Amino acid sequence: MTNSHPQTTTGRTGFAEAVTPCLPRLYGTARRLVGDGAEDLVQETLLRAFRSFHQLKEPAATAGWLARILLNTFRDRLRSERRAPAEVALDDVDDFSLYRHIAEEDPYPYSDRLHLDFIGVFGRDDVRAVLLRLPPIYRAPLVLRYVEGYSTKEIARLLSLPLGTVLAQLHRGRKLFERSLWEYAESEGLLEKEAVR
Partner 1 sequence: MINCAEAVRQLWQYLDETLKPEAREKVGEHLAFCRDCCGEVEFARILQDFLRSSAVAEDLPADVRARLHSFVTGLER
* Residues within the interface to partner 1 (CB under 8 A): 12-13, 15-16, 19-20, 23-25, 27-28, 31-32, 39, 42-43, 46-47, 50, 94-95, 97-100, 115-116, 119, 122, 124, 127-128, 131, 142, 145-149, 152, 167, 170-171, 174, 177-178
Least Cβ distance, residue 180 to partner 1 (angstroms): 12
Least Cβ distance, residue 81 to partner 1 (angstroms): 22
Q: Would you put residue 86 in left (φ > 0), alpha (ψ -120 to 50) or beta?
A: beta
Question: Which of 135/173 has CB closer to partner 1?
Answer: 173
The conformation of residue 111, written as its DSSP 8-state character, comes to: -
Least Cβ distance, residue 174 to partner 1 (angstroms): 5
CA angle 46, 49, 51 (to 5 degrees): 115
CA angle 172, 114, 141 (to 5 degrees): 20
Question: Which of 79/100 has CB closer to partner 1?
Answer: 100
Give the Å distances, CA to CA, from 156 to 23, 43, 144, 148. Answer: 25, 24, 10, 14
- For 21, the 3-state DSSP assignment is helix
Question: Which of 15/137 has CB closer to partner 1?
Answer: 15
Question: Which of 4/97 has CB closer to partner 1?
Answer: 97
Question: Which of 157/171 has CB closer to partner 1?
Answer: 171
Least Cβ distance, residue 84 to partner 1 (angstroms): 25
CA distance 45 to 141: 19
Least Cβ distance, residue 15 to partner 1 (angstroms): 6
> Are 114 and 108 spatial neighbours (Cβ–Cβ below 8 Å)?
yes
